Each structure stands twice: as C-alpha cells, then as structure tokens.
Amino acid sequence: MKREYEEALHLETLRLLRYNAYTSYIGIPTKKSVKKSSLEEFYPLPKDRKKKEYTSEDIKQGSNRQEPYITNGKLRGYLDTTGKLWDKNKENVIANMTDGQLIYIN
C-alpha cells in the first residue's frame, strides 16, 4: 500500500508539473508579429482521461443536428444547421432561414 501511495503521489506531482508548464507557456508574452506555436499534446500519464475520438458517423450526426425553433412560447418546428425549418414531425421542410428571416415554402 505504501508503494501504491508513493506512485500515486508521484503521478499527481507529474500532473501538477505538466499543468504548471502549460499555464506558464500560455502566459508568455510575444511580439505582435510573432505567432506563438501551439502545444499539441502532452505525454500521457497513467489514469489520464481518455480523449473521445469521433467517428465519421458522429461528425455527420453532429452536422445535421436539429434544434427546436420556438417563437412566442410555441414550438414552430426544428431548425437545422443548414437553415431549413422542419415541421414538428421532422419530415417536411416548411421554411428556409436566410439572414435571420424565415422564407416560407409551405
């Protein structure tokens, strides 16, 4: 148990040092014309949170997301990212949104 505790303490120290290095790097001032290179990724440590990798199907579903379009407290339909307003059943397009204004089709 003592060895596990020392290993956990060592890992926590490494995480704090890594965080300190990152925050110090971000805080370094640069000249206006000099672009600061970005940190890609730190060396992973045990028990770090895993990054979720998105598949092409997840990206496709995220790009086709439809959000409720509510005006005057009533649900008018669902607006997707392309600017189309779908009916409540998400089957038919009832309007297109251009420049913040709805242009009705049906």
Same domain, 66 and 23: no
Residue 47 and residue 25 share a domain: yes
H or E segment at 32? none
Domain, as residue range, for 28: 1-51
The CA radius of gyration of the chain, in Å to the nearest whole number, is 25
Do 13 and 36 lie in one domain? The reply is yes
Instruction: Let me know whether 44 and 1 are in one domain.
Output: yes
* Residue 102, both tokens: 């709805």
d(CA 71, CA 97): 14
Q: Is the pTM of this model over 0.75?
A: no
Q: Return the closest-CA partner of residue 96 out of 88, 87, 81, 85.
A: 85
Number of domains in the chain: 2
pLDDT tens-digit readout, 8-48? 888 888 888 888 877 777 777 777 766 666 666 667 777 77
Residues 42, 68 within the same domain: no
pLDDT for 54 equals 75
Query: Using one digit for the tens of pLDDT, what is the confidence trace for 44-100?
Result: 777 777 777 777 777 776 666 778 888 888 888 888 877 888 888 878 888 888 777
Assess whether 47 and 8 both reside in one domain.
yes
